[in-house]
Amino acid sequence: MSTQSHTAAPIRLGTRRSALAQAQSGHVAAALEKISGRPVELVPITSEGDTNRASLSEIGGQGIFATRLREALLAGECDILVHSLKDLPTTIPEGLVIAATPVREDARDVAITRGGTPLHELRTGSKVGTGSPRRIAQVHRRAPHAEVVDIRGNVDSRLQRVASGELDAVILAAAGLSRLGTDSPLRREELGLSEWPTAPGQGSLAVETRSDAPAELLAALAELDDHDTRLAITVERGILEGLDSGCQAPMAAHAVVDGDEIRVRTVVYSTDGGRRIGLDVTETLNGEYIRRNGSGNGADAAGGADPMRTAREFGLSVAHRLLEQGAADLVSREHSSS
């Protein structure tokens, strides 16, 4: 395949092999083909997260799906990657850039049951499946009499464990279900973001490429980028980054851009769900928070405002407030008793 003829050369999109990863990569591929006028081909890559069956809470969810894909991108095996943003560590490796964050899908979690019993009404001893430390803590709070079962596996296998009666409920991301177009007789309970905030970046995709990618590829990817989505996830990831060094407890953060304001809801939980520290903060997107190419307080030496840098700093300041309120202490009891 010659990369000389830019008009015809396919754009190679690296993706995990799971049905969900291929589905969400397919959505991006279709949009990019329209913008660029070039075919986009999927390059399936096996990540550690796809082969290591250990619990996510043991091996650490962050990065296990991304590392192998990023190695392939840096080695030139593909031209772009599509990630679920919530799986990406906050540090972007040297030589790579998140070139687009398309419009965010539904950021909520859903509880899936056979009969539609709400999570908080599940009987004592009911089995609820999830492998996420955040969701485990939230289930403990919402359904304290239920038993949490640590599970891995793709969406279909999780749904099957509910359908078969092995589990009474599983917690899944709404965005994943809609991207897969899953048609199931099982019942869904949407979990509201005010009481059940989700992981930083949940519902969002990140399109990553090399910093030295051809200008026309970067320009095509820029057309996929949604400014408000990027602002919101930059705040959320700023909170995660700020907590990372000071707090290993399960956490959630969800930000929304509404007119000239950005609102963020963030909670840090103890691992058993018994305690939590939460903040709701609203910032105005003017002055420091200039959205596009304005000048003023947010202007820096590069000329023009950098709203993303300011959004990250806002997230870091929220994390600092959480730590001041004792967020890092939420795991200390569990760690000292082990």
Which tens digit of pLDDT belongs to each residue from 267-297? 999 999 999 999 999 998 765 544 444 333 3
For residue 97 the two structure tokens come to 């850039």
Q: Tell me what percent of the residues of the chain surpass a pLDDT of 70.
A: 84
User: 300 vs 312, which has greater pLDDT?
Assistant: 312
State the chain's maximal CA–CA distance in angstroms: 64
Residues with Cβ within 8 Å of 205's Cβ and at least 6 positions away in sequence, in order, are 24, 28, 82, 83, 84, 85, 101, 102
Quote the CA–CA distance of 211 and 226 in Å, as a whole number.
19
- The per-residue pLDDT for 296 is 37
pLDDT greater than 60 at residue 143: yes
Catalytic residues: 87
- The per-residue pLDDT for 332 is 63
Angle (nearest 5°) at CA 205 between 203 and 206: 145
pLDDT greater than 50 at residue 175: yes
Measured between alpha carbons, how far apart are the two ends of the chain, in Å?
A: 56
**Band of residue 184 on the pLDDT scale cut at 50, 70, 90:** confident
CATH 3.30.160.40 domain range(s) in the chain: 226-332
User: 295 vs 62, which has greater pLDDT?
Assistant: 62
Instruction: Compute the chain's Rg from CA coordinates.
Output: 21
Q: At what angle do helices 227-244 and 307-324 cross, to 10 degrees?
A: 40
CATH number of 226-332: 3.30.160.40
Angle (nearest 5°) at CA 272 between 270 and 277: 25
Angle (nearest 5°) at CA 86 between 23 and 231: 105
Alpha helices in the chain (DSSP H): 19-36, 48-51, 56-59, 67-74, 133-142, 155-163, 174-180, 215-222, 227-244, 307-324, 332-337
Could you tell me how many residues make up the chain?
Answer: 338
Q: Tell me what percent of the residues of the chain surpass a pLDDT of 90.
A: 70
8 Å CB contact between 200 and 237: yes
8 Å CB contact between 87 and 103: no
**Band of residue 1 on the pLDDT scale cut at 50, 70, 90:** very low
User: What does DSSP say about strands 187-191 and 109-113: parallel, antiparallel, or unpaired?
Assistant: antiparallel
**Band of residue 301 on the pLDDT scale cut at 50, 70, 90:** very low
Average model confidence (pLDDT) across the chain: 87
Record: fold of 109-191: D-Maltodextrin-Binding Protein; domain 2 (3.40.190)
User: 123 vs 245, which has greater pLDDT?
Assistant: 123
Class of the CATH-defined domain 1-102+205-225: alpha beta
Which residue type sits at 113?
A: T
pLDDT greater than 80 at residue 89: yes
Helix (H) or strand (E) holding 170: strand 169-173
- The per-residue pLDDT for 144 is 94
Quote the CA–CA distance of 297 and 138 in Å, as a whole number.
40
Average pLDDT over residues 256-269: 94
Cα distances (angstroms) measured from residue 254 to each of 38, 86, 240, 296: 35, 11, 11, 28
pLDDT greater than 60 at residue 52: no
Quote the CA–CA distance of 29 and 148 in Å, as a whole number.
37
pTM beyond 0.75: the answer is yes
Average pLDDT over residues 244-268: 92
CA 287 distance to own-chain centroid = 29
The pair phi, psi for residue 127, each rounded to 5°, is -100, 120
Residue recorded with tokens 């809801």: 265
Average pLDDT over residues 291-310: 54
CATH 3.40.190.10 domain range(s) in the chain: 1-102+205-225, 109-191
Quote the CA–CA distance of 333 and 270 in Å, as a whole number.
9
